[in-house]
Amino acid sequence: MSATAQPQEGPRPRAEMPKELDARHLRRRVIELAVLIAAVALLVSAAPGLGDVRQRFAEANPALIVLVALLQLCSTLSYVVAFRDVFCRRMSWGFSYRIGMAEQATNVLLPTGGAGGLALGAWALREGGMNTEYIGRRSVALFIITSIPSFACLVIGGPLLLLGVLPGGVPTVVTAVFTGLAIAGVLVAASLPAILSRTRPEPGASRVSRTWRSISKAIAGGVVDTGMLLRSGRWKAIGGAIGYLGFDILSITVAFAAFGASPEIGPLIFAYVIGQLGGLIPLPAGIGGTDGGLIGALVLYGNPFSQTAAAVLAYRAFQVGIPAALGAIAFIQLRKELSETETPAAVCTQLAEPLPAR
């Protein structure tokens, strides 16, 4: 399977930016995000029944709050490390940073399970001169690699919690269900290349059929590339993915400590992973969905409501704010770079082929 890009003659065609990334659409999303943040702040500051939460904020440890922000910064930078190592280790760190941070800002503004950020990254890399088929495969590989640590927390942590190896009381049924779903997800992902390889377009197939074939090929190729990346010991991709999740978990753990709580780490991590599923609700920055999911899951796994609500709100302020602020700046710089530099990713065109096995 060789997809090595061939030199093209004549002017390079411009890649069309996804419509959801145009300036008008993003401005509307920013306004929606600002309104939601203001509504949450008003609710916390004035709503009856939240006096304990407000008291927690009044007694918070400021040094630990700063540490929460620093850990979130480490998480966002870890994603950039994984992004560059998955796509192209020859790509400049500056270009990689701008795409990686812009992707994370897009995921804040366009909460579509990471699809918005991947669409932006695909556009920027195509505009930068990278092979389209390779971008599709490696976008899938990046999504899988950055998701593996979360699935590992469920697949490994669930049985350990159920067997009592990890301390802390857990709801048995909920833990067993999510552990089973995670195991099923891993098995399905591993089977995708064999399943999707059977998808072949018929002669004279419709545009929809051809599109589905292209998507199937990218997904199957991405799963295969993921295996090759892992087997070849791409420690920056692996470490970046672990850091992307790990620093985020450390961030919310320190947020609990800032409000005087020290939950058991096993139930905390498991509840954190399933609580993040609330971000699948299509709201700007997942506000309401992710916050509610995290608070609900963490309380279900034995944490007091007032401390949990305060910790989650403090953690989420930085989880949303840092990538949104840095990513917005990176997006502006990225568009400027792509308009001034013909092919900043052209150095990677010869990498559009499978990695050699070790």
Mean pLDDT of 168-185: 93
215 falls within a domain: yes
Distance between CA atoms of 75 and 243, rounded to whole angstroms?
A: 6
Asked if the structure places residue 64 within a domain, the reply is yes
List, for residues 203-220, the tens digit of each pLDDT value.
556 666 667 777 888 888
DSSP state of 353: S
Q: Give the helix/strand (H/E) hosting 323.
A: helix 305-340
* pTM of structure: 0.85
Percent of the chain past pLDDT 90, that is, above it, reads 41
40 within domain boundaries: no
Does residue 24 belong to any structural domain of this protein? no
Q: Which residues of 65-104 are buried (b: 16+ CB within 10 A; e: fewer)?
A: bebbbebbebbbbbbbbbbbbbbbeebeeebbbbbbbbbb
Q: What angle do CA 337, 342, 347 make, to 5 degrees?
A: 95
Do the beta carbons of residue 33 and residue 108 sit within 8 Å? Answer: yes
Per-residue confidence (pLDDT) for residue 2, from 0 to 100: 40
Torsion of CA 315, 319, 321, 325, to 10 degrees: 150
Look at the block and give the residue holding tokens 């320190």: 254
Assess contact for 19 and 25: CB atoms under 8 A. yes
Number of domains in the chain: 1
Tens-place pLDDT, residues 181-207: 999 999 998 888 877 766 665 555 666
- Looking at the domain assignment, is residue 55 inside a domain? no
The more confidently predicted of residues 296 and 113 is 296
pLDDT at 11 > cutoff 60 = no
Q: Are 312 and 295 in contact (CB under 8 A)?
A: yes
What is the per-residue pLDDT for 163?
94
Mutual angle of helices 62-87 and 305-340, in 10-degree steps: 40
Residue 31 placed within a domain:
no
Residue with tokens 């407000």: 54
Distance from C-alpha of 273 to C-alpha of 325, rounded to nearest angstrom: 24
pLDDT at site 35 = 78
| 113: containing domain | 60-351
Length of the chain equals: 358
Residue 96 pLDDT greater than 50, yes or no? yes
Residue 99 clears pLDDT 80, i.e. is over it = yes
pLDDT in tens, 327-352: 888 988 888 888 877 777 777 766 55
In a domain, 347, yes or no: yes
Cβ-Cβ contacts under 8 Å for 25 (sequence gap 6 or more): 19
Q: CB under 8 Å to 322, separation ≥6 — which residues?
A: 69, 72, 73, 76
At 9, is the pLDDT very low, low, confident or very high (cuts 50, 70, 90)? very low
Given its phi and psi angles, is residue 290 left (phi above 0), alpha (psi -120 to 50 degrees) or beta? alpha
pLDDT given for residue 4 in this prediction: 42
Residue 285's region, left for phi above 0, alpha for psi from -120 to 50, else beta, is left
Token pair, residue 249, equals 């978990």
Is residue 195 a part of any domain in this protein?
yes
Percent pLDDT > 70 in the chain is 81
Choice between 342 and 154, residue whose per-residue pLDDT is larger: 154
Q: Which two tokens stand for residue 218?
A: 């990218």
**Nearest of 148, 326, 323 to residue 241 by alpha carbon:** 148
* Confidence check: pLDDT of 13 > 60: no
Q: Are 124 and 334 in contact (CB under 8 A)?
A: yes
The distance of Cα 28 from the centroid of its chain, to the nearest Å, equals 22
Q: Which residue has the higher pLDDT, 30 or 323?
A: 323
**For the residues 284-305, what does the mean pLDDT come to?**
85
Going by pLDDT thresholds of 50, 70 and 90, the confidence category of residue 284 is low
Which of the two residues, 108 and 116, has the higher pLDDT score? 108
Most confident of 26-35, 39-48, 185-194, 280-289: 185-194
